[in-house]
Amino acid sequence: MSTVLNTTGQTGPTPTIRPLPDSVVSSLKAVFNSRFTSNASVCLLHGTDESAYAPRPPQAVVFAESTDEVSFIVRSCAAHRIPVIPFGVGSSVEGHLLAIKGGICIDMSRMNAIVDIRPDDLTATVQAGVTREQLNEDLVHTGFFFSVDPGANASIGGMVATAASGTNTVRYGTMRDNVLSLTVVTADGEVIRTARRARKSSAGYCLTQLFIGSEGTLTAILPSNINRAHPLASKRSSCKPAVRPRSFKSWSAVISFPRMGWQVDCRVKHSANEDADMVVQRVGRLPVWTQHMTRWRGPRSGSGL
Ligand SMILES: Cc1cc2nc3c(=O)[nH]c(=O)nc-3n(C[C@H](O)[C@H](O)[C@H](O)COP(=O)(O)OP(=O)(O)OC[C@H]3O[C@@H](n4cnc5c(N)ncnc54)[C@H](O)[C@@H]3O)c2cc1C
């Protein structure tokens, strides 16, 4: 049945919403106790987003706290063809969360642990309910930041599901460019990991990219989202430059950086009359974030290097 929504609610025929089977309700209640609720105001909150569409509450909300719990909910619902809607923080603007056919909402906000931060390989592993501000607060002391900023303090799971972009996207990319791998629960309740942390990640189907932007339809996104972190522009540090000959006619300036990845974003501009010595001395005095150099070739200096 097709349904057309406008800003005042639905205009097309109202889809039939089947009552939740007693067996499903009782088994979810038994497992989740007070974390399963059909309280009207809680349901309304979870059927409301930042779009102009009228709210459409789900029939129940479950507050999940682990991968196994999400898998259990999805399996229970799949067996009875009950719609499942994951919920991050409800900041989406396109009506994603509206339960037009009823169903059960899985609130992911309690899965909000930052599992691991690895500054040396520019990655972090987080649970789906972690918000981007929370991640950046934890990252700040490392000198890195998570770049995708859609304006709202959205959850990482929601940002993956909506392939979020934002003000930093021109320079750093969207969620598509910043997620290395995902752990997901598929529509039948199976838990899969789409890839490991290597940059070269898919020798077959690129499942990570399939799930990014799936808008909550294919999967529930779980712990182990692994995201790329970028050097924080305000973080300053010195580096240790050195110069060594590359060949008879050309020279390279080699600069070590305190942390892997900073050099990725670095490049040095040099004027035509600068030689290797001058470039290295100048670069050595600069804070790392202003350096833009991985390799320099130019005339041999007069210092005998
Ligand atoms: C002021 C404002 C400005 C914005 N600007 C931009 C912008 O410039 N660019 C841009 O791209 N977006 C923008 N957005 C939208 C933003 O990308 C989304 O609000 C955000 O990504 C959704 O995250 P959330 O945690 O609120 O997800 P929710 O709103 O809770 O959910 C959004 C969708 O993701 C699904 N979902 C949530 N969590 C999971 C999960 N763990 N697993 C599977 N599916 C899940 C939901 O089912 C739903 O379909 C803006 C939003 C606001 C309010």
With beta carbons less than 8 A apart as the criterion, state whether 82 and 105 touch.
no
Reference 106, options 187, 176, 174; nearest CA is 187
With beta carbons less than 8 A apart as the criterion, state whether 71 and 111 touch.
no
What is the mean predicted confidence (pLDDT) over 120-129?
88
Confidence at 292, pLDDT banded by 50, 70, 90: very low
DSSP-derived letter for residue 290 is G
pLDDT at 303 over 60: no
> What domains can you pick out in the chain, each with its CATH number?
5-107 (3.30.43.10), 114-231 (3.30.465.10), 240-298 (no CATH)
Q: Strand, coil or helix: what is 269?
A: coil
Provide the mean pLDDT of the chain: 79
174-178, 254-258, 275-279, range with the lowest pLDDT: 254-258
Q: Is the dihedral of CA 164, 170, 176, 177 positive or negative?
A: negative
Pocket-testing residue among 91, 94, 184, 185, ligand 1, by greatest number of atoms within 8 A of Cβ: 91
pLDDT at 170 over 50: yes
State whether the beta carbon of 253 lies less than 6 angstroms from ligand 1: no
State whether the beta carbon of 175 lies less than 6 angstroms from ligand 1: no
4-13, 147-156, 162-171, range with the lowest pLDDT: 4-13
With beta carbons less than 8 A apart as the criterion, state whether 70 and 26 touch.
no
pLDDT at 105 over 50: yes
With beta carbons less than 8 A apart as the criterion, state whether 138 and 117 touch.
yes
Confidence at 293, pLDDT banded by 50, 70, 90: very low
Q: How far apart are CA 173 and CA 132, in angstroms?
A: 15
In the chain, what are the helix, strand and coil shares in percent, each to the nearest 5? Answer: 25, 20, 50
Helix axes 22-32, 67-79, angle to 10 degrees: 170
Ligand 1 center to 256 CA (angstroms): 39
| pLDDT on residue 24 | 97
Confidence at 144, pLDDT banded by 50, 70, 90: confident
pLDDT at 251 over 90: no
* Protein residue closest via CA to atom 34 of ligand 1: 158
* Protein residue closest via CA to atom 36 of ligand 1: 158
